[in-house]
Structure 1
């Protein structure tokens, strides 16, 4: 029986993956904010193989607490899906003093990927699927202002998070060469509840486009299921089922190390 950990596993694509792997007979750990939504995923046949961990992953402390819980309770993790999402159109500072989107979409992922290295090492074919759309520019990261206290825009923030998650794969591969690390984005828009703090125009646009053009979450995640069930060691990038080239910068190893140092220093 495999152990599958899914952040953001109570809604949208994360919930679709949780239902699939519970139905397939795996042990599934869901990290999310809604116990009620988690309970709605369960049946009498799957409840014994499901675990819920309540957390807000825009909190650094919550992310670290979850990782410690996973390390204490699971010697092996076969797959980690990083799918937690809460879209913020504007800069938001948390009670911890950090920019919320940077923590949710990168720092928490860094904490999970690096903190669970031993659990991945115990798995026969470990895989991380990071739902960070690949293809950001190599120079998208502002190392002098990672939390964008100045000149914040949604587009800059999004590009920086995406690029940082590509570089996180370098650190993951160094820790475990047998690990498959995939940055993945859906081929097109996915119908979901679109959790976030955004303006009316973005909400309406997402709702209309989702209804007209969107995929159902269970259809959107079929390529992810293929990646998890037949992982290939090393870094890769996909949009839907189509492989994309990795973005290669002139200083990728150095940049990955700078990101690690920044997170570990608490910046």
Structure 2
């Protein structure tokens, strides 16, 4: 039986993946903020409902909190011998800069620091799996120079576009660190082929909310349809780094100093 860990597993694509893997007979650990949503998710699982409930675990956490991310990693290491697949899908969109109680820029904390802590902290459990895979829903393709190493938390000149590009590029470099430590690991940065209908959790302006709602209804794909390529990747992982939009494999972005940049990034956040 595989062990699948999904952050952001109570909504949208994360919930669709949790339903699929539970129905397929896997052990699934869902990390999210709402126990009520997790309980509701379990009622939609097909197959042996009693068995699914026994194979499902919920860990409540706000992954924009470094302390919460560390707590979840420690819990997983204490209660599981291996992780076959780690899906990093937690999301909360912010158009404006927001500082957490710990003093971090919230989007950077959620979309990179938490992922860094999961990938590095759970490395021993992933190494224990026969065919380990990480699927990071950081849409690939950000330019190589998107990271401002002198101001990672964008205390100056914050924009949604800059913040988004920096997080995405940092997660691509995280793949270099992860596969360097574990050559047998498959590390995939992935984004949907097109808009996905979801509850669109976030702190955004009215214009973005309306656009997301309207376009989602008109053009969006259902979460259970959108995650098909992720299910395929988890089912047949290929060691090394890769990038996908939907089922289409993309060329990885290559910079002149990727290894140096990855090491610089690790040094900058390693004490978190």
Instruction: Give the TM-score, by structure 2 length.
Output: 0.97
Partner of 1:17: 17
Partner of 1:235: 241
The 3-state SS of whatever aligns with 1:57 is: coil
Moved over 3 A (4+): none
Deviation at 1:246, TM superposition (A): 0.3
Where does the alignment leave 5 or more consecutive residues of structure 2 unmatched? 43-48
Partner of 2:136: 130
The 3-state SS of whatever aligns with 1:45 is: helix
Q: 2: distance between equivalents of 1:131 and 1:192?
A: 15
The 3-state SS of whatever aligns with 1:41 is: helix
The 3-state SS of whatever aligns with 2:108 is: helix
Partner of 2:56: 50
The 3-state SS of whatever aligns with 1:204 is: helix
The 3-state SS of whatever aligns with 2:208 is: helix
Q: 1: distance between equivalents of 2:40 and 2:205?
A: 29
The 3-state SS of whatever aligns with 2:51 is: coil
Deviation at 1:45, TM superposition (A): 3.3
Aligned Cα root-mean-square deviation (Å): 0.6
Instruction: Map 1:12-161 onto structure 2 (within 5 A).
Output: 12-42=12-42, 43-161=49-167
Deviation at 1:264, TM superposition (A): 1.4
Deviation at 1:265, TM superposition (A): 3.2
Aligned length: 266
Per-residue Cα deviation, 1:153-196 (whole angstroms, up to 9, x for no partner): 00000000000000000000011100000000000000000000
Deviation at 1:27, TM superposition (A): 0.1
Q: 2: distance between equivalents of 1:236 and 1:175?
A: 16
The 3-state SS of whatever aligns with 2:50 is: coil
Where does the alignment leave 5 or more consecutive residues of structure 1 unmatched? none
Say whether residues 1:211 and 2:217 are aligned partners.
Answer: yes
Q: 2: distance between equivalents of 1:101 and 1:116?
A: 22
In terms of mean alpha carbon deviation, does 25-34 or 42-51 score higher?
42-51
Instruction: Give the TM-score, by structure 1 length.
Output: 0.99
Q: 2: distance between equivalents of 1:41 and 1:90?
A: 31
